[in-house]
Amino acid sequence: MGVWVLLVGILLHGVALCNGGITSSFVRKTGMSVDMPLDSDVFRVPPGYNAPQQVHITQGDHEGRGVLVSWVTMDEPGSNTVLYGTSKDKLEFRAEGIVTSYKYYNYTSGFIHHCTLKKLEYDTTYYYEVGIGNTTRQFWFRTPPKVGPDVPYTFGLIGDLGQTFDSNSTLTHYESNPIKGQTVLYVGDLSYADNYPFHNNIRWDTWGRFVERSVAYQPWIWTAGNHELDFGPEFGERVPFKPFTHRYHVPYRASGSTSQLWYSVKRASAYIIVLSSYSAYGKYTPQYQWLEQELPKVNRSETPWLIVLVHSPWYNSYNYHYMEGETMRVMYESWFVQYKVDLVFAGHVHAYERSERVSNIAYNIVNGKCSPVDDTSAPVYITVGDGGNIEGLANNMTEPQPAYSAFREASFGHAVLDIKNRTHAYYAWHRNQDGFSAVADSVWFFNRYWQPDN
């Protein structure tokens, strides 16, 4: 009898293994992630009266010839000018920006400057300077190569970063990765200021100073997450996304969008579409109409790699935020299959997961076809909400691992997507506990348009 029970047990175990992918057995320290204290060196205010701080750049146009420079001055508005040029010693060009500020409960922001540098040369290093008088600060960035189908380019992927000691480890690992990311695709949830009483916006300022060491030198492409909502009607803050939309401008008009929260950019050989999980996306809504018109515009002979960023994942097998992305998936997934989206990156779940190429678009309420199936036209869905924020790891998974889940692990980390040409891209996920060059999950992706069979 005992032997039979054992045999049945082994068989069932085998079935479970065949059904899903890999659940990593990596053993990590458990414990809460705590925010770095306000006097941490990573939050240090740059010296000098009214010195520009929280300097950050993002793409400033649709093609990659623009850079949007943003920074904050605390004492007075100061200058809206950016001086820039291709030589460190000769900043021969200048651009004028705008300044804004906002109040949030009992917090008043500094002076937030935004200035777009336009019509830059491709594949060129520029030096730029912000500030005025004795307190100027100089940084640099490199523009992407001209858009083209076989242009190699390397993206970093970070999500749900926050500002804990683990967040700092994630950023350091990204910076120290021997595969050098040239632009970060950021999948939402930035500062986690809303975990403080009255969403203490000082934690938006500290976050801006913390990430400056990367984002002042390379663009981060911003996606809005739920922690950007900052909706606090109980203390009079009724306008969603107020701090985020004041601080993190994006070139949404360049892609015909009517909102900062969804837009697209081309960069090298990639076409990146950013969506908002927390804005209306049902039929007839502005986001729906924009996406419906956007997808047919993507020319895969120009930008073979079609990438979507969204905060709430559509394929997630953790017990955290389970099925929260479901309604958006129902609205848009058939388009993603029709237009052969290569990759969908999400955050929100504080862990890592990579899906198989699956779709779940056959269901029509009465036909019973409600399970994901293998689909070579479907994207791979990747969750990288593992930046290390104050809320800690999502380490509780649905069991057994569903067939759509190829690999999952509850560790903090980041990923890189290293596009080689129109057909091949190397992708790797790195966990913070490892050395900088160690890879915890990797895969070669084949482009859905140019190499549709794996």
277 is a site residue for Fe ion (CB under 5 A): no
229, two tokens: 């909502």
348 is a site residue for Fe ion (CB under 5 A): yes
Shorter beta-carbon distance to Fe ion: residue 348 or 414? 348
Shortest distance (Å) from residue 443 CB to Fe ion: 25
Give all strands of the β-sheet with 424-431 in edge-to-edge order. Answer: 220-222, 183-186, 153-158, 413-419, 424-431, 441-446
Shorter beta-carbon distance to Fe ion: residue 225 or 372? 225
The residue range among 76-84, 186-194, 325-333, 367-375 that interacts with Fe ion, by the rule CB under 5 A, is 186-194
The residue range among 40-48, 135-143, 275-283, 345-353 that interacts with Fe ion, by the rule CB under 5 A, is 345-353
Q: How many CB atoms lie within 10 A of CB 144?
A: 25
Q: Which position's Cβ is nearest Fe ion?
A: 348
Using CB under 5 A, which residues numbered 2 to 31 contact Fe ion? none
Shortest distance (Å) from residue 391 CB to Fe ion: 9
Shortest distance (Å) from residue 296 CB to Fe ion: 30
Selected binder of Fe ion within 189, 230, 342, 418 (CB under 5 A): 189
- Active-site entry in 62, 246, 321, 348: 321
Shortest distance (Å) from residue 161 CB to Fe ion: 11
**The three-state (H, E, C) secondary structure of the chain, written as one string:** CHHHHHHHHHHHHHHHHHHCCEECCCCCCCCCCCECCCCCHHHCCCCCCCCCEEEEEEECCCCCCCEEEEEEECCCCCCCEEEEECECCECCEEEECEEECCEECCEECCEEEEEEECCCCCCCEEEEEEEECCEEEEEEEECCCCCCCCCCEEEEEECCCCCEHHHHHHHHHHHHCCCCCCEEEECCCCCCHHHCHHHCCHHHHHHHHHHHHHHCCCCEEECCCHHHCCCEHHHCECCCCHHHHHHCCCCHHHHCCCCCCCEEEEECCEEEEECCCCCCCCCCCHHHHHHHHHHHHCCCCCCCEEEEECCCCCCCCECCCCCCCHHHHHHHHHHHHHCCCCEEEECCCCCEEEECCEECCCCCCCCCCCCCEECCCCCEEEEECCCCCCCCCCCCECCCCCCCEEEEECCCEEEEEEECCCCEEEEEEEECCCCCCCCCEEEEEECCCCCCCC
Shorter beta-carbon distance to Fe ion: residue 262 or 445? 262
156 is a site residue for Fe ion (CB under 5 A): no
Residues in binding contact with Fe ion, number by CB under 5 A: 4
Is 173 among the catalytic positions? Answer: no
CA distance 439 to 222: 25
226 is a site residue for Fe ion (CB under 5 A): yes
Residue carrying the six token digits 């009483």: 197
Using an 8 Å Cβ cutoff, are 305 and 338 in contact? no
Selected binder of Fe ion within 21, 110, 208, 225 (CB under 5 A): 225
Hey, which residues are catalytic here? Answer: 321
Residues that bind Fe ion in the complex, under the rule CB under 5 A: 189, 225-226, 348
